[in-house]
Amino acid sequence: MDSQTSQASQPPHSPSSPHTFQVDLRGLVDLLSHHLYSSPKVYLRELLQNAVDAITARRATEPDAPARVRLYAEGGALRVEDTGVGLTEADVHSLLATIGRSSKRAEGLQEARSDFLGQFGIGLLACFVVAERIRVVSRSALTPGAPPVEWTAADDGSYTVRTLPDAERPEPGTTVHLVARAGAAEWLSPGRVEALARDFGSLLPYDVRVGDEAVTDLPAPWDRPYPGPAARRVALARHCHGLFGFTPLDTIDLSVPLAGIRGVAYVLPSAVSPAQRAGHRVHLKGMLLTERAEQLLPDWAFFVRCVLDTDSLRPTASRESLYEDETLAAVREALGERIRAWLTGLAAGDPERLGAFLSVHHLGVKSLARHDREMLRTMLPWLPFETTDGRLSLEEFAQRHPVVHFTRTVEEYRQVAPIASAQGIGVINGGYTYDSELVQALPSVRPGTQVAELDAETVTARLDAVDPAEELALSGFLAAARARLDPLGCDVVLRAFHPLSVPALHLDDRDARHEQARADAEERADDLWAGILGSLRGSAPRARLVLNHLNPLVRRISALPDPELIGTATESLYGQALLMAQRPLRPADSALLNRAFIGLLEWATHSEDGQA
């Protein structure tokens, strides 16, 4: 007969007998504290969880059984009492002395744990993260005649089990005693225990107290009755500030009855990056599971922080995050629908609040609208875009312009916006996140709308041509200017356009830039790669430097008699046009700017010397 069997058959009040875990307990504690759990604070959650599960199991057979959990912290020790189902000696051996295996104790408790957070065979051993010794005194409610039993374990892996006189535990339930390990006494201090108990257990369905202070705070803030909507918003805003540290722009109810979910989403009052992972608070049947649930909502809903209670989601082994499965995917989609419905409701009935929201979080709504045509249609009158007519919605812009032109980059927009505006060409800056995708999707929700990417040809065609006789007279000037910029893959054209203050405009498109990048790479490559890159040469139109014939400076340059000086001045205009467009400069462009600057200085100083 093995040691555990003989232990179970001992008579009451028998002397203590030593037993040993079948694993290296210190190694297991190191695994728990450094690899499974994010913080030692989870020990208190495990204690609360065991107590709540035990009460749930007892009430399955005794619906009127008391439901109390009491915590007492003092002098580096903690005592936790519950009125739960309790343990027999056989339960103790099976439940507390077997590592890595789910409990085989009474069906009531086993089913309760399965129904609550699952079975991981870790349970009370998590307390060794902060305690050097654990003592459990328990009396079973399922076996009324069974005496109280005591289980005492040390962090060296040894434990003892013995039965006790009835007076040691006259009522069913369990008491857990912890003694802090070296350096961990702070985790068992009264203030820390109360704070952790409130954090983990505020929504638990039973009476939980630390000393005389109540921990539970039911019903949950989102389920309480309030005098009116305004009072509810104020109360929830106060709740949000206490949990997350900010006052929300608005509150969204998150009720999914089929998934057993109740809670709220709080809208952030300031913009955040879409790449920033949101941390949501998730309670599982009242017990706080995690405050950093990142996968709870769709990625586009990065502008809210949630707190909710659920009975359907599955926790990971550490019970600190959610298991990614079909249930979580369905819940994520359902919660996303609730946020969509809130946005749609604002658009239909409260445009002032919607405007305040979009002024901060338009990026999140744009992210949603690019995948959801119905949301794009709803948000068309509200989403702001940068355009040559100012900040407008796509709907307003499309009403003003028969063709909706857009650029794909901010740089392209900046180089053409002043000119296009002066020529009556409406252009949307599609260089910001999601904007070009939404503009291109416009015809799908607004039939008949024409959308076109703005290119150099379109802009040049809208600029006024110079009188043929005047252009012929300037043929020498244009030839010198073209010769100087030809090695850079740039043509020179002469047009008349407004505003007069702009002497030159650099125009290209993506195809032209790709061809220029290929040509630059070909020039730097060895013979083999140069041949390969040469075979990829495209027929894209080259970049253009459009000189403004109405600009006084261009007129003076065109009248210069010296072709070399014309070339240097043209290089200067080219460099200035690149800088005005805020385009990145290639090495060749930087060398040109330096050469043009030095050339103009030499010309100016040479002229002064000649005059002297």
Give yes or no for residue 101 having a pLDDT over 50.
no
Say if residue 609's pLDDT is above 80: no
Between CA 177 and CA 68, with CA 113 as vertex, the angle to 5 degrees is: 50
Which percentage of the chain shows pLDDT scores above 90? 35
Choose between 38 and 159: higher pLDDT.
159
Which pLDDT does position 110 carry in this prediction?
A: 44
Q: Is the pLDDT of residue 317 over 80?
A: no
- Return the pLDDT at 23: 53
What mean pLDDT value characterizes the chain?
81
User: Which pLDDT score is estimated for 427?
Assistant: 93
**Contact status, residue 136 vs residue 151, Cβ threshold 8 Å:** yes
172 touches 141 (CB < 8 A): yes
DSSP code of residue 315: B
pLDDT of residue 418: 79
Whether residue 111 is predicted with pLDDT greater than 50 in this model: the reply is no
Average pLDDT over residues 473-488: 89
pLDDT reported for residue 193: 95
Query: Average pLDDT for residues 326-343, to the nearest whole number?
Result: 90
Would you place residue 602 in the very low, low, confident or very high pLDDT band (cuts 50, 70, 90)?
Answer: confident
CA dist 1 and 12 (Å) reads 19
**DSSP tally for the chain: helices H, then strands E:** 21, 23
Q: Residue 570 and residue 558: Cα distance in Å, rounded?
A: 10
Q: What is the mean pLDDT of residues 107-134?
A: 58
- 167 pLDDT tier (thresholds 50, 70, 90): confident
Rounded to an integer, the average pLDDT of 571-598 is: 81
pLDDT digits (tens, 9 = 90+) for 451-475: 998 876 777 777 888 888 888 989 9
Q: What integer is the mean pLDDT of 282-297? A: 88
pLDDT number for residue 278: 73
Structure confidence at residue 116 (pLDDT)? 39
Answer whether residue 270 shows pLDDT above 80: yes
Per the structure block, which two tokens stand in for 314?
């599955």
Under the banding of pLDDT at 50, 70 and 90, the label for residue 479 is: very high
Predicted confidence at residue 102, as pLDDT, reads 40
Q: Is the pLDDT score of 281 beyond 90? A: yes
Report residue 524's pLDDT band, with 50, 70 and 90 as the boundaries: low
Q: pLDDT tens digits for 24-69? A: 555 655 555 555 566 788 889 889 988 998 999 999 999 999 999 9
DSSP state of 84: S
